[in-house]
Amino acid sequence: MPRKEGQKLKLLALLEILARETDEAHPLSVPRLVEMLRERGINAERKSVYDDIETLNSIPDAGFEIVQQRGRGGGYYMTDTPFELAELKLLVDAVYASKFITANKSKTLIRKLGRFTSRFREAELNRTVLVSGRIKSQEERFLYSVDALHAAITGGWQVQFTYCEWNLDKKMTPRHGGRLYRVSPWALVWENGNYYLIAYTEGHLRHYRVDKMQQVVPLEGEAREGADEYAEFDVNAYTQQMFGMFNGPLKKVTLKCENRLAGAMIDRFGTGPALVPYAGGESFVITVDVQVSPQFYGWVAGFGTGIEILAPAEVRAEMCRTLDTLEDLYR
């Protein structure tokens, strides 16, 4: 092997050893580094290893640093790896918690994430995050649907797909006899534990649950539509207006809430709407834009007497009808 090529191989092997076999608690001495290089079939002298460490540290914008720990039991270790351990743990938790990533794919992804730190710290990533009521998907098709949608959004293309729903046999079946949907994709949104595609079709923007989309195909060369509509579209406002991502007529609704629910209202509607003290001082009033749907009425009912719809009159009346219907059902 030519000397220059052999030197590159030695640098790469040394870099791998330092990345995977060292951290602040596990430095390696130069004699041990020489041994580990020889175990990989690479001969090295102590002096050349010192020189190699200096070379690695001189790489501009490398994203890492090889630090010498002096004293007994000291040596060299790599720090400033691409991810801090806390960042890797956060990513691992997100993988565990995602219901769309299968158990097998979760293990594969976590194993890959572990390569960004030492093998000692990698062991700390092998933990289980418990998420109440979260059932892992049995299919990996979802990941490829997301990838196809990202490609279409980046390329500015339309996409086509079949849209499905669950049946009583717990199987996904295509809607409308399996007809192909054709839309112009603009954004992917994570809301209520699900991915939604925001797309333009038939003159307006609407959303689709990505896990219910099958056979997603980017239509390369078919330019997407709806640029003017999307330029005026506020994704955050859109998702805040809906409950459970169910559509309904947009109304400006005024709610009277007990003071203890201030946090719940801020969590739901953000810090924008004013919380106006109500007569007596034990309640406040908030006015928000809402896409009124059965899910909205269910959300209000869930707070019992803590929330009262004050306006508009038609929304208040529909809430009364909903409660009357429920009362009749449970008599």
| Architecture of the domain spanning 141-233 | Roll (2.30)
Quick: pLDDT tens for 155-192. 999 999 999 988 888 788 899 889 999 999 999 988 87
Residue type, 112: K
Residue type, 12: L
Closest CA to 153 of 178, 189, 99: 189
| Architecture of the domain spanning 241-329 | 2-Layer Sandwich (3.30)
CA distances 189 to 234, 289, 317, Å, are 12, 19, 33
Distance CA 278, CA 276 (A): 6
pLDDT bin (cut points 50, 70, 90) of residue 4 is low
| Residue 187 contacts residue 234 (beta carbons within 8 Å) | no
Query: Phi and psi of 172, rounded to 5°?
Result: -80, 125
pLDDT(1) > 50: no
Average pLDDT estimate for 239-262:
87
* 68 Rama sector, left if φ>0, alpha if ψ -120 to 50, beta otherwise: beta
Distance CA 124, CA 121 (A): 5
pLDDT at 136: 57
What's the whole-model pTM score? 0.61
Domain ranges of the chain: 3-79, 85-125, 141-233, 241-329
Q: Do 241-329 and 141-233 have the same topology in CATH? A: no
Exposed (0-12), middle (13-18) or buried (19+): which is 238, by Cβ within 10 Å?
buried
pLDDT at 314: 96
pLDDT(127) > 70: no
| Residue 69 contacts residue 75 (beta carbons within 8 Å) | yes
Average pLDDT estimate for 281-294:
93
Mean pLDDT of the chain: 87
Percent of the chain with pLDDT over 70: 93
Quick: pLDDT tens for 299-316. 999 999 999 999 999 999
pLDDT at 83: 77
Distance CA 285, CA 274 (A): 8
Q: Which fold has domain 3-79?
A: Arc Repressor Mutant, subunit A (1.10.10)
Percent of the chain with pLDDT over 90: 47
Torsion angle, alpha carbons of 131, 137, 143, 149, to 10: -90
Which of 82 and 141 is assigned the larger pLDDT? 141
Average pLDDT estimate for 8-21:
88
Distance CA 104, CA 109 (A): 9
How many residues make up the chain in this entry?
A: 331
Closest CA to 92 of 125, 117, 124, 62: 125
pLDDT(259) > 80: yes
pLDDT at 103: 77
Closest CA to 207 of 136, 127, 128, 149: 149
pLDDT bin (cut points 50, 70, 90) of residue 106 is confident
pLDDT(210) > 50: yes
